[in-house]
Amino acid sequence: MGRAKRIWLPDSFYHIVCRGNQRAPLFKDDGDFLTFLYILKKVNETIPFELASYCLMTNHYHLQLRSREYSISKVMSLINKRYANYYNTKNHLSGHVFEKRYFDQVIKSERGMLEVSRYIHLNPLEANIVNRLEDYRWSSYPFYHHSNLLPYEYVKMEIILSAFCGSEEERRKAYIEFMLEEREEVHS
C-alpha cells in the first residue's frame, strides 16, 4: 500500500521539519549550512517559494514555507534531493540522508503563523546552542532582530511583521517582544 498523497493548499504556509537519517547530523560544518542556504536560493530561482522563517539545526531543519505555483512536495523533493546529493558526495556515502518523509503541517491562522515562527526561531536557544537568539547564524531570526541585515530574497519577513502595527522598526521591536512572551500551544 502506498503512502497517502500530500495535500497542497497554494495560499497556505506550512511548517516543515526534516531530520537526518537516524537523527544523524545533516550539517557538520559551516560549509554544509552555507550549501543548504545556497540550495534554497537555487531552487527558489526555478520553483518560487516564500519563507516566513527558517532554522537549520545540526540534525534537522525547520521551514515556514509557502509555494503558490508548485506543490510543497515538488519544492521539498528538489531541496532534499540536491542536499542529499551534495552530502553523500562530500562524505563519500550513499543511501538515505533524511529520516522518513518530511513533516508538514498547514498553518491556518495569523496567530498560528506567529507561534510557528517563534517555535522555529527558539530552537537554538532551547537546545542551549546560544544564549541570545540573534547570535545564531543559521536561522532567519537575526534578520528580524537586526535591521541592518538584509534577508535572502526568498525570506519574506513582511508576512510575519504584518501582524504588528507601526513602522518597520516598531514592528520588528514588537516581534522581538513577542518572542520573549510565554508560548501558547501551537494549533496552527
| Domains and their CATH numbers in the chain | 13-180 (3.30.70.1290)
- Please report the pLDDT score of residue 188 as a whole number: 43
In this structure, what C-alpha cell is assigned to residue 179? Answer: 518572542
- The Cα 62–Cα 50 span in angstroms is 14
Give every CB contact of residue 78 below 8 A, 6+ residues apart in sequence: 43, 46, 47
With a threshold of 0.85, does the pTM exceed it?
yes
Give every CB contact of residue 79 below 8 A, 6+ residues apart in sequence: 39, 40, 43
- Please report the pLDDT score of residue 187 as a whole number: 43
CB 72 within 8 A of CB 65: yes
Q: 151 pLDDT band (50/70/90 cuts)?
A: confident
